């Protein structure tokens, strides 16, 4: 139930953002809700690659002939060694290349922030990027799982 309410709120926010942008004749290609994260690498951290053993070609052929059940392979979990950084939630607006000025972007972001303040939603960044939408046949590229929830809510 909570997900449904949150999903409806995000849909309503997205619709209102698109409405604000269209009123300013901004040529929108997408409006996404994102968070960015990265891990600082330690200064002395080295990446060690495993060496392949080419001596056992027969074993390699035998492995290829085995039937693999991918459901039996455990999920690989990344090892985090460093400081994890996480940005505020961001409304990431895609616009057609060379169609948005910094002044119009600032004015529209101010209007979006005023709308979010009315919903008592704080600490949301508004970012613009140039993008062109195009259809991806099939399922498209795989998406990464969401980052850990830090308590910031829409």
pTM: 0.62
**Average pLDDT, whole number, for the chain?**
80
Give the start-to-end residue ranges of the domains of the chain.
13-40+87-143
Distances (CA, A) of 37 to 16, 78, 85, 91, 146: 27, 14, 5, 15, 10
d(CA 42, CA 117): 38
Mind listing the pLDDT tens digit for each residue in 57-115? Answer: 556 655 566 777 878 888 887 777 778 889 999 999 999 999 999 999 999 999 999 99
* CATH fold of the domain at 13-40+87-143: GMP Synthetase; Chain A, domain 3 (3.30.300)
Per DSSP, the three-state class of 30 is: strand
Mind listing the pLDDT tens digit for each residue in 6-22? Answer: 678 888 899 999 999 99
Q: Which residues, listed in sequence order, are joined to residue 39 by a DSSP beta bridge?
A: 84
Write down the pLDDT at residue 41: 75
Whether 130 contacts 97, CB under 8 Å: yes
Write down the pLDDT at residue 81: 76
Residue 4 pLDDT > 80: no
């Amino acid at each position: 139930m909570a997900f449904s309410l949150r999903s409806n709120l995000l849909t309503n926010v997205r619709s209102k953002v698109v409405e604000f942008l269209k009123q300013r004749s901004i040529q929108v290609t997408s409006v996404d809700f994102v968070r960015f994260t990265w891990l600082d690498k330690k200064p002395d951290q080295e990446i060690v690659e495993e060496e392949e053993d080419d001596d056992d070609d027969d074993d390699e052929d035998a492995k290829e002939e085995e039937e693999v059940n991918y459901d039996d392979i455990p999920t690989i979990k990344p090892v985090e060694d460093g400081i994890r950084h996480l940005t505020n939630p961001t409304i990431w607006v895609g616009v057609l290349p060379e169609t948005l000025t910094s002044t119009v972007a600032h004015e529209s972001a101010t209007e979006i922030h005023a709308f979010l303040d009315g919903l008592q939603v704080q600490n949301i960044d508004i970012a613009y990027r140039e993008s062109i939408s195009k259809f991806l046949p099939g399922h498209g590229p795989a998406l990464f799982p969401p980052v850990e929830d830090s308590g910031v809510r829409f």
